[in-house]
């Protein structure tokens, strides 16, 4: 009972509701509640894996890769001028034009589709399409004849070899363009621009969305040292001392370098076995990448709703929910959306308005008030476990950096839309960090767009 109260800390106890959670459901959800001892052990394991990723001798077999980004300078407010950003990470991509002035940020952007035929065509076709859209965008915004710096957010697995050099490791998200894997995507973009011969663009940096989040927040808050994404996926980057980055081969005169941890992979060597539940195992077994990205699968929006669905199905089969009656809708994989978790937890105590609406959509109109209380409790256990896992990782980085005060820039749909995720993280991180350290969480504004332009702006400032 004490642990249950702890996981609901600050949100009001479930007992405040008119209908209490049934004892058998509470008992069955204990596996989803992380004790202080378990979190402390997970923190030790995360720290060990981060150090493995940074170390030259252990990097190759490291689960948490801690890739070097080659971004060594953060915005300081003196960046000025016009910059382009290109954000490619799915079936659409964005082009942005950003004007930086003194305390002034003006941004114009446009979304372009990538036809299915191009997604599975050649790399040349893909980058020619991107270059054509870039040229059209520059015409529309009267910068066609300008030579502009560009930051390129590329949200696919990338082995970075420099600020402007990155080799594609593998395509994901339905892309299968030939001639790109193993090649430098910056060079492929430059080649496409050169083939056109009508626009002048200087590609200043390639980055992923966590680095963009950190940079975007650092422009407003110079104390930002961590960039976190908790959305469809989950990843984090942070500012590390260059001397600790053993694989770094850039400018060692600069004291810092942003490291992209790729911590979603944590646990693929068994490090998460102490907290894995039957629901996590089922999600992993039915995923497109079994045995991989286990930490991400316990946290991110891609899986949170499905975790709840699996728990609901199991407890209904055991006659603890809905009078033992399942619906066809609930039995179908992926039908309990992560947004349902946020909606159900947004209900005021004693009210099950959203919960009833969600259950109605799932063919469970026969749910009782007791069922609604139980469903909300299951949602709370899953989302709070996610918040506490993220918090454990963030606390590891804060303790490692030993800064007296810092800001964590955060983006992603789970953090942005879940009604309690921010508060749960703040409360848990406070418990886990070393005495005397101050921190705050800051919602990022368009890390993948604005952040990319800022990396380009900082690179131009330094040059």
Instruction: Identify which of 148, 215, 156 has the alpha carbon closest to the alpha carbon of residue 185.
Output: 156
> Would the pLDDT of 128 be above 90?
yes
- Exposed (0-12), middle (13-18) or buried (19+): which is 24, by Cβ within 10 Å? middle
Residue 153: what pLDDT?
Answer: 92
Phi, psi of 108 (to 5 degrees): -125, 140
User: Could you tell me the residue ranges of all domains in the chain?
Assistant: 21-67+208-445, 70-207
What pLDDT score does 5 carry?
35
Catalytic residue among 49, 128, 184, 209: 209
At residue 18, the pLDDT reads 67
Give whole-number Cα distances, 108 to 94, 100, 124, 146, 447, in Å. Answer: 10, 12, 27, 16, 15
70-207: CATH, from 3.40.50.800, 1.10.3720.10, 3.30.420.40, 3.40.50.2300: 3.30.420.40
Q: Does 19 have pLDDT greater than 80? A: yes
Contacts of 1 (CB under 8 A, 6+ apart): none
What does the alpha-carbon distance between residue 151 and residue 134 come to, in Å, rounded to a whole number? 13
Closest by CA to 256, choosing from 103, 59, 458, 98, is 458
Tell me the pLDDT band of 12, cut-offs 50, 70 and 90: very low
| Residues 41-77: tens digit of each pLDDT | 999 999 999 999 999 999 999 999 999 999 999 998 8
Q: Which residues pair with 334 in a beta bridge?
A: none
Is the pLDDT higher at 172 or at 58?
58
The encoded tokens of residue 209 equal 């969305």
Distance CA 266, CA 397 (A): 14
pTM listed for this prediction:
0.89
What does the pLDDT read at residue 450?
87
Q: What are the residues whose beta carbons fall under 8 Å from the beta carbon of 72, sequence distance 6 or more?
A: 242, 250, 251, 254, 256, 257, 258
Which tens digit of pLDDT belongs to each residue from 203-242?
999 998 899 999 999 998 999 999 999 998 899 999 999 9
Q: Examine the pLDDT at 10 and tell me if it is beyond 70.
A: no
Q: What is the CATH number of domain 21-67+208-445?
A: 3.40.367.20
Q: How much is the pLDDT for 463?
A: 65
Per-residue pLDDT reduced to its tens digit, 414-462: 999 999 999 999 999 999 999 999 999 999 987 788 899 999 999 887 7
In this predicted structure, the answer to whether residue 148 has a pLDDT above a threshold of 70 is: yes
pLDDT (tens digit per residue) in 436-446: 999 999 999 87
Which of the pair, 209 or 245, is modelled with greater confidence? 245
Closest by CA to 211, choosing from 67, 399, 394, 69, is 69
Which candidate in 173, 241, 430, 438 is catalytic?
A: 173
Active site residue 173: yes
Average pLDDT, the chain: 92
Strands 234-241 and 67-68: unpaired
CA distances from 73 to 198, 239, 242, 246, 368 (A): 32, 10, 12, 18, 57
Range in 94-108, 139-153, 334-348 with the lowest mean pLDDT: 94-108
| Owner of token pair 């702890």 | 6
Residue 209 known to be catalytic:
yes
Rounded CA separation 209/154 (Å): 8
Q: How far apart are CA 166 and CA 180, in angstroms?
A: 11
């Amino acid at each position: 009972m004490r642990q249950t109260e702890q996981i609901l800390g600050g949100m009001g106890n479930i007992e405040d509701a008119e209908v209490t959670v049934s004892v058998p459901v509470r008992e069955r959800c204990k596996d989803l509640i992380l004790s202080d001892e378990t979190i402390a052990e997970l923190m030790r394991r995360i720290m060990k894996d981060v150090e493995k990723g940074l170390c030259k001798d252990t990097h190759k077999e490291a689960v948490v890769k801690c890739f070097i980004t080659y971004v060594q300078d953060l915005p300081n407010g003196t960046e000025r001028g016009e910059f382009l950003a290109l954000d490619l990470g799915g079936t659409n991509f964005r082009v942005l034009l950003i004007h930086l002035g003194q305390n002034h940020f003006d941004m114009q952007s446009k979304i372009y589709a990538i036809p299915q035929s191009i997604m599975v065509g050649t790399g040349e076709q893909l980058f020619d399409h991107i270059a054509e859209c870039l040229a059209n965008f520059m015409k529309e915004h009267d910068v066609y004849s300008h030579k502009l710096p560009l930051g390129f957010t590329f949200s696919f697995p990338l082995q970075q070899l420099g600020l402007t050099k990155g080799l594609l490791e593998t395509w994901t998200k339905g892309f299968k363009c030939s001639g790109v894997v193993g090649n430098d995507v910056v060079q492929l973009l430059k080649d496409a621009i050169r083939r056109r011969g009508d626009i002048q663009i200087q590609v200043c940096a390639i980055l992923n969305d966590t680095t963009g989040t950190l940079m975007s927040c650092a422009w407003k808050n110079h104390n930002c040292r961590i960039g976190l994404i908790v959305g469809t996926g989950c990843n984090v980057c942070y500012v590390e001392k260059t001397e600790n980055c053993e694989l770094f081969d850039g400018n060692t005169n600069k004291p810092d370098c942003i490291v992209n941890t790729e911590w979603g992979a944590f646990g693929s060597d068994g490090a998460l076995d102490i907290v894995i539940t039957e629901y996590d195992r089922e999600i992993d077994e039915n995923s497109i990448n079994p045995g991989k990205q286990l930490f991400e699968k316990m946290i991110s929006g891609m899986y949170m709703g499905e975790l709840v669905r699996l728990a609901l199905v199991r407890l209904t089969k055991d006659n603890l929910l809905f009078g033992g009656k399942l619906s066809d809708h609930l039995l179908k994989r992926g039908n309990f959306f992560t947004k349902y978790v946020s909606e159900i937890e947004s209900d005021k105590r004693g009210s099950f308005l959203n919960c009833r609406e969600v259950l109605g959509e799932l063919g469970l109109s026969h749910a009782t008030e007791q069922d609604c209380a139980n469903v909300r409790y299951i949602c709370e256990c899953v989302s709070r476990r996610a918040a506490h896992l993220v918090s454990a990782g963030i606390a590891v980085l804060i303790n490692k950096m030993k800064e007296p005060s810092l800001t964590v820039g955060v983006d992603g749909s789970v953090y942005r839309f879940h009604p309690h995720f921010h508060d749960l993280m703040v409360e848990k991180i406070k418990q886990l960090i070393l005495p005397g350290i101050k921190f705050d969480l800051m919602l990022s504004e368009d890390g993948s767009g604005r952040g990319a332009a800022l990396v380009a702006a900082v690179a131009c400032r330094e040059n």
